[in-house]
């Protein structure tokens, strides 16, 4: 497994810094956010480390598929139970347990964690935070897949990775999780109104309905004229960093 890390200049054994985990979207690697988001300047001022894992296991011996939305580059942040995926695709455990253990034992970081992501990674950030509200101080997402059980990206991936029973799917669906959540952490979502995937795949209205059902606080901002690209992320990443910094340092 590959990951990228940004360490701010403050980070030292004397001053361990908190970590924002960033989860990327379909077809991405550990590099996209680091190269395109423009996050380092403010992260260096705020004293936040950023860790970006790859979006799936990789390699010749790892199961794959010809399509861009399944297999390598498309791990969907689940623990696969179905063959052939269940041999290597354990992205949920990797992001929640394995990677943070490695980061905390290798770099001068403390145990404070926030999580964020984009598209498939926004889905990953939301489900991971909603399932582990005591571990993460805050969660944010750009253009997340809010209700994967009800869109073609999610249905395809969940069928392959988790099988046909929808009971398991609910554990990895942000709208389902928020609908039944009791422990609350701060959630911030930004969505471009000119995003080509908005209606068919992302469905923020499902997250809004869930938040109303469980009275879960949700900050959702719709931005006119913005699409699904990293230009959208780079335009608002500073808002997300300040949001996480406020909660990480509380």
The answer to whether residue 38 forms part of the interface with its own copies (CB under 8 A) is yes
Query: Could you tell me which of 150, 135, 161, 140 has the C-alpha nearest to residue 56?
Result: 161
Using the contact rule CB under 8 A, the part of the chain among 79-87, 124-132, 216-224, 228-236 near its own copies is 228-236
The answer to whether residue 8 forms part of the interface with its own copies (CB under 8 A) is no
Q: Answer yes or no: are the C-beta atoms of 231 and 38 closer than 8 Å.
A: no
Q: Would you say how long the chain is, in residues? A: 250
The answer to whether residue 230 forms part of the interface with its own copies (CB under 8 A) is yes
Residue 55 to residue 71: CA distance in whole angstroms? 10
> Is 244 in the active site?
no
Among 10, 27, 104, 234, interactor with its own copies by CB under 8 A: 234
- Residue 229 C-beta: closest distance to its own copies, Å: 9
When the beta carbons of 142 and 153 are compared against its own copies, the nearer one is: 142
Strand arrangement of the beta sheet that strand 187-192 belongs to: 3-6, 49-53, 17-23, 109-118, 136-142, 187-192, 219-223
Residue 223 to residue 192: CA distance in whole angstroms? 5
Residue 133 to residue 142: CA distance in whole angstroms? 19
Using the contact rule CB under 8 A, the part of the chain among 35-43, 62-70, 188-196, 206-214 near its own copies is 35-43
> Is 228 in the active site?
yes
- Residue 235 C-beta: closest distance to its own copies, Å: 8
Among 12, 40, 183, 219, interactor with its own copies by CB under 8 A: 40
> Is 119 in the active site?
yes
Say if residue 43 is exposed, middle or buried (CB neighbours under 10 Å; 0-12, 13-18, 19+): buried
Which residues are at the interface with its own copies (CB under 8 A)? 35-36, 38, 40-41, 230-231, 234-235, 238
Catalytic residue list: 119, 195, 228
């Amino acid at each position: 497994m590959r990951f990228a890390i940004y360490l701010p200049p403050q980070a030292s054994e004397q001053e361990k810094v908190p970590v924002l985990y960033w989860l990327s979207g379909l077809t991405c690697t550990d590099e996209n956010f680091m190269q395109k988001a423009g996050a380092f300047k403010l992260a260096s001022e705020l004293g936040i480390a950023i860790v970006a894992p790859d979006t799936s296991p990789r390699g010749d011996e790892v199961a794959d598929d010809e399509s861009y939305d399944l297999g390598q580059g498309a791990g969907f942040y689940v623990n696969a139970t179905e063959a052939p995926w269940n041999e290597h695709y354990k992205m949920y455990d990797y992001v929640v347990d394995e990677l943070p253990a490695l980061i905390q034992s290798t770099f001068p970081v403390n145990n404070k964690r926030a999580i964020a992501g984009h598209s498939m990674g926004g889905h990953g950030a939301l489900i991971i935070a909603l399932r582990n509200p005591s571990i993460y101080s805050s969660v944010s997402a750009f253009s997340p897949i809010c209700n994967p059980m009800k869109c073609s990206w999610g249905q395809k991936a969940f069928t392959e990775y988790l099988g046909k029973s929808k009971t398991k799917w609910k554990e990895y669906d942000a709208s389902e999780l928020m609908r039944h959540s009791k422990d609350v952490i701060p959630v911030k979502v930004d969505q471009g109104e000119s995003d080509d995937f908005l209606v068919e795949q992302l469905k923020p209205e499902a997250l809004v309905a869930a938040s109303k059902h469980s009275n879960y606080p949700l900050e959702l901002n719709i931005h006119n004229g913005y699409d699904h690209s990293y230009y959208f992320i780079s335009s608002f990443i500073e808002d997300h960093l300040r949001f996480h910094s406020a909660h990480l340092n509380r």
